[in-house]
Amino acid sequence: MYTGMVTLQVLDTVFYEAQRQGRISFYVTTIGEEAINIASAAALTMDDLVFPQYREPGVLLWRGFTLQEFANQCFGNKADYGKGRQMPIHYGSNKLNYFTVSSTIATQLPPAVGAAYSLKMDKQDACAVTYFGDGGSSEGDFHAALNFAAVMEAPVIFICRNNGWAISTPTSDQFRSDGVAIRGQAYGVKSIRVDGNDALAMYNTVRAAREMAIGEQKPVLIEAMTYRVGHHSTSDDSTKYRPANEIEWWRMQKDPVNRLRKWIERNGWWSSEAESELRIDVRKQQEKLLRETIERHPRDYPEDVPL
Amino acid sequence: MASALRRLGSAAARRGLSTACEDTKKSLFQLPQAGGKSSNLCSAINQALHIALESDPRSYLFGEDVSFGGVFRCTTGLADRYGKSRVFNTPLCEQGIVGFGIGLAAMGNRAIAEIQFADYIFPAFDQIVNEASKFRYRSGNQFNCGGLTIRAPYGAVGHGGHYHSQSPEAFFCHVPGIKVVIPRSPRQAKGLLLSCIRDPNPVVFFEPKAIEEVPEEDYMLPLSEAEVIREGSDITVVGWGAQLSIMEQACAGAEKEGISCELIDLKTLIPWDKETVEASVRKTGRLLISHEAPVTGGFGAEISASIVERCFLRLEAPVARICGLDTPFPLVFEPFYMPTKNKILDAIKATVNY
């Protein structure tokens, strides 16, 4: 799990910088939410169907999507499975059971319920898992999906990444309920709130939710509390609407990757040498890969941007 | 047997001219005849649904109130026969109904979602436009929800007012990635619905209300093939759904005054059969389109623009559109709102005498 989280961090840095340099048109980082991504993915099996929002590339990474495949989609080159039809970060992989990302908020929730119902009818030992943010919980599709999941008794896990911000809208402007977990309860869905920056807690919660969803053939809602350390996307500068020291505080004090690192170091399974080795390695790999991808598909690269 | 009849049906539709239709009864010869009995549209739909659920065990039917038979009785007997886990009520939520259907279809099932009235389809518009229609395309064909069929009764009923009379087809015709199909009669409805359910694309199927004889067996009618249901030489008249019976009356009235009308049922609105309409207009030189939906931005505008592009120099008169007025569908003023037989007849005469 730890190497997964570090790889995700490095991947984010490399692609973010690539966008800033004009190499790709757009990017969305997952900074601060690495634990939710990787730990939840680790607790699932490959047969579980994933209906993402757009801040869950870590789930895809865990399942085996290669750095090359991520790059192809971001460049929209000929090797992109999506055939260059969508903006960067709109990944999808049928062989990894990760449904293609769409930009629209929460529209993936009702289909996740339908897919879960199909699994139930086919008596599969699997569930559907769908992710969304605090903002997504305001959309009509959220209410439609929870209600349907409860009535149809569909084995679906709803994971809300409550990261405090929907672009520039803080949760105080998003809802006045006691977060999102209480809404699950209101719909008759078993719900739990968890510290989303605690990789172990996240892992265990999703593991238990999966057993419940499949064993009882009922939906479960998990509200994972976290913080969106990065900007909403490369088109956003979040210092315009929130204090820079707030961002720094979360990045330094509450980073989920640091937290897990300290725990594995304390257990003697990791060291600072291993840490720098890993980071340098992954970074080198990715930069080399980007360069090669550009060279392989020169036509799918902007003419006016130097290599 | 069913496939042979299907082939016969589509070949006859393409031949069009040699079926020499003078009235609707003769046009029915292209369809299976054996053991038909009088049905209204909803019992024809019911037959199609029975066949669909019987022939594919991974097909599901759901929507508001479908379990007891539905407000139009289109779904009677289905829950009893196929079980509550395949035919079931959903909560009152159109976006949920369609979204749920997309998920089912994405897993390779046939999902037949019912929207109680076309007037209520709008909460599901986002799911249809941003999910269903783009599901295959955006994934580079890794995923698809082709097994989804959304059915909704539509159109004027005489007393429906704003919210039980709408014809919203034009909104959906503007969405690449779905098909829009509208049958004119019970017999057409059964064959077209079966084609829609079995078509590997998400389809929106609008159902009018009528009575006619319907054959009992499993048969399909081809999508994207318009049908010339009355041959003529002076003017091409195009429509779909319930409006066709009004148009037929207008054509009969025109004939008494020496005008020969060629009447075409479009059947599938997207993708629509431009070739058949163009061939007809090349013959007649005049076009009139009629639909219940308001005229501005209605699907008649698309047909008009496309045919003008293709047949500009052949046209003898402007393309006429006799449609609903640009108002919400009124209750007591329905007779004024509707594109009636006399309005159509007047326009036929004006176009021919242009």
Are residues B183 and B49 located together in one domain of the fold? yes
| Lookup: tokens for A303 | 């003419």
Contact at CB, B96 and A116, closer than 8 angstroms: no
- With tokens 């005049």, the residue in question is B286
CATH C-level class of A1-300 = alpha beta
Residue A131 to residue A209: CA distance in whole angstroms: 14
Position B15 in a domain:
no
What percent of chain A stands above pLDDT 90?
A: 97
Position B306 in a domain:
yes
Nearest-CA distance A206 → chain B (Å): 22
Taking the alpha carbons of B59, B61, B67, B72 in that order, is the dihedral positive or negative? negative
Last residue of a domain, one of B214, B246, B276: B214
How far is residue A119 from each of residues A67, A172, A187, B39, B96, measured CA to CA in Å?
A: 30, 37, 22, 37, 18
The secondary structure element, H or E, covering residue B192 is helix B186-198
* Secondary structure letter of residue A254 according to DSSP: S
With beta carbons less than 8 A apart as the criterion, state whether B29 and B19 touch.
Answer: yes
Which residues does A306 contact at the CB level (< 8 Å), separation at least 6?
none
3-state secondary structure of B264: strand
Strands A220-225 vs B37-40: parallel, antiparallel or unpaired? unpaired
Chain centroid to CA B61: 20
Nearest-CA distance B177 → chain A (Å): 14
Are residues B243 and B210 located together in one domain of the fold? no
User: Nearest-CA residue of chain B relative to A120?
Assistant: B85
Number of compact structural domains in chain B: 2
Are residues B181 and B260 located together in one domain of the fold? no
3-state secondary structure of B4: helix
| pTM for this model (two decimals) | 0.92
Are residues B249 and B304 located together in one domain of the fold? yes
3-state helix, strand and coil shares in percent for chain B, rounded to the nearest 5? 45, 20, 40
With beta carbons less than 8 A apart as the criterion, state whether A133 and A163 touch.
Answer: yes
Question: Which sequence spans correspond to the domains of chain A?
Answer: 1-300
**Smallest Cβ distance to B95: which of A81, A114, A144?**
A144
User: Nearest-CA residue of chain B relative to A76?
Assistant: B140
**Which residues of A carry out catalysis?**
17, 103, 232-233
Which residues does A141 contact at the CB level (< 8 Å), separation at least 6?
A106, A107, A109, A110, B95, B96, B99, B126, B127
Per-residue pLDDT at A300: 86
Strands B227-230 vs B261-265: parallel, antiparallel or unpaired? antiparallel
Position B222 in a domain:
no
Whether B93 and chain A come into contact, CB under 8 Å, resolves to yes
CATH of the domain at B349: 3.40.50.920
Question: Which residues form the domain of B105?
Answer: 36-214
**Side chain identity at residue B157, one-letter code:** V
Position B30 in a domain:
no
Are residues B243 and B160 located together in one domain of the fold? no
B207, HSE (Cβ side, Cα atoms, 13 Å): 31
Per-residue pLDDT at B3: 45
Whether A113 and chain B come into contact, CB under 8 Å, resolves to yes
A108 closest CA partner among A139, A63, A80: A139
Residue B89 to residue B76: CA distance in whole angstroms: 13
Are residues B94 and B142 located together in one domain of the fold? yes
B131 closest CA partner among A97, A157, A103: A103
Q: Where are the alpha helices (DSSP H) in chain A?
A: 2-20, 34-42, 57-63, 67-75, 109-121, 140-152, 181-186, 199-216, 244-253, 256-266, 272-296
Residues in chain A: 307
Per-residue pLDDT at B182: 98
Which residues in chain A have Cβ-Cβ distances shorter than 8 Å to B145?
111
With beta carbons less than 8 A apart as the criterion, state whether B213 and B38 touch.
Answer: yes
**Side chain identity at residue B23, one-letter code:** D
| Lookup: tokens for B240 | 């779909």
Last residue of a domain, one of B214, B245, B268: B214
User: Nearest-CA residue of chain B relative to A103?
Assistant: B130
Residue B102 to residue B144: CA distance in whole angstroms: 9
B231 closest CA partner among B251, B247, B249, B250: B251
- Residue A32, beta-bridge partner list: none
Residue B138 to residue B147: CA distance in whole angstroms: 17
B223 closest CA partner among B202, B201, B192: B192
Are residues B129 and B208 located together in one domain of the fold? yes
CATH of the domain at B191: 3.40.50.970
Per-residue model confidence as pLDDT tens for chain B (354 residues) = 444 444 443 433 333 222 222 333 333 334 555 456 777 888 999 999 999 999 999 999 999 999 999 999 999 999 999 999 999 999 999 999 999 999 999 999 999 999 999 999 999 999 999 999 999 999 999 999 999 999 999 999 999 999 999 999 999 999 999 999 999 999 999 999 999 999 999 999 999 966 567 888 999 999 999 999 999 999 999 999 999 999 999 999 999 999 999 999 999 999 999 999 999 999 999 999 999 999 999 999 999 999 999 999 999 999 999 999 999 999 999 999 999 999 999 999 999 999
Quick one: CA torsion of B179, B106, B109, B92, rounded to 10 degrees?
Answer: -80
Whether A201 and chain B come into contact, CB under 8 Å, resolves to no
B261 closest CA partner among B183, B173, B148, B349: B349
pLDDT tens per residue, range A83-130: 999 999 999 999 999 999 999 999 999 999 999 999 999 999 999 999
Whether B90 and chain A come into contact, CB under 8 Å, resolves to yes
B109, HSE (Cβ side, Cα atoms, 13 Å): 28
- With tokens 């961090």, the residue in question is A9
Are residues B186 and B125 located together in one domain of the fold? yes
Per-residue pLDDT at B56: 97
Rounded CA Rg of chain A: 19
User: Nearest-CA residue of chain B relative to A154?
Assistant: B100
3-state secondary structure of A234: coil
Residue B292 to residue B284: CA distance in whole angstroms: 24
Residue B153 to residue B114: CA distance in whole angstroms: 9
Question: Residue A299: how many CB atoms within 10 A of its CB?
Answer: 7
**Side chain identity at residue B7, one-letter code:** R
Which residues does B203 contact at the CB level (< 8 Å), separation at least 6?
B148, B149, B150, B178, B179, B180, B181, B196, B197, B223
Which residues in chain A have Cβ-Cβ distances shorter than 8 Å to B108?
118
Q: Let me know the angle formed at the C-alpha of B182 by B180 and B185, rounded to the nearest 5 degrees.
A: 165
Residue B227 to residue B279: CA distance in whole angstroms: 12
Instruction: State the DSSP string of A161-188.
Output: EE-SEETTEEGGGT--SSTTHHHHHHTT
- Residue B39, beta-bridge partner list: B212
A299: pLDDT confidence band, cut at 50, 70 and 90?
confident
Whether A179 and chain B come into contact, CB under 8 Å, resolves to no
Are residues B180 and B316 located together in one domain of the fold? no
Are residues B238 and B210 located together in one domain of the fold? no
The secondary structure element, H or E, covering residue B49 is helix B41-55
Q: How far apart are the first and last CA of chain B?
A: 49
Whether B30 and chain A come into contact, CB under 8 Å, resolves to no
Whether B353 and chain A come into contact, CB under 8 Å, resolves to no
| Lookup: tokens for A72 | 């192809």
Position B10 in a domain:
no
Residue A81 to residue B143: CA distance in whole angstroms: 11
Are residues B209 and B240 located together in one domain of the fold? no
Which residues does B329 contact at the CB level (< 8 Å), separation at least 6?
B156, B160, B161, B162, B165, B166, B337
Q: Is the pLDDT of residue A5 over 70?
A: yes
Are residues B249 and B184 located together in one domain of the fold? no
- With tokens 């290599």, the residue in question is A307
Q: How high is the ipTM of this complex?
A: 0.96
In chain A, residues 124-143 whose CB comes closer than 8 Å to chain B: 128, 140-141, 143
Which residues does A269 contact at the CB level (< 8 Å), separation at least 6?
none
As a whole number, mean pLDDT of residues A210-222 equals: 98
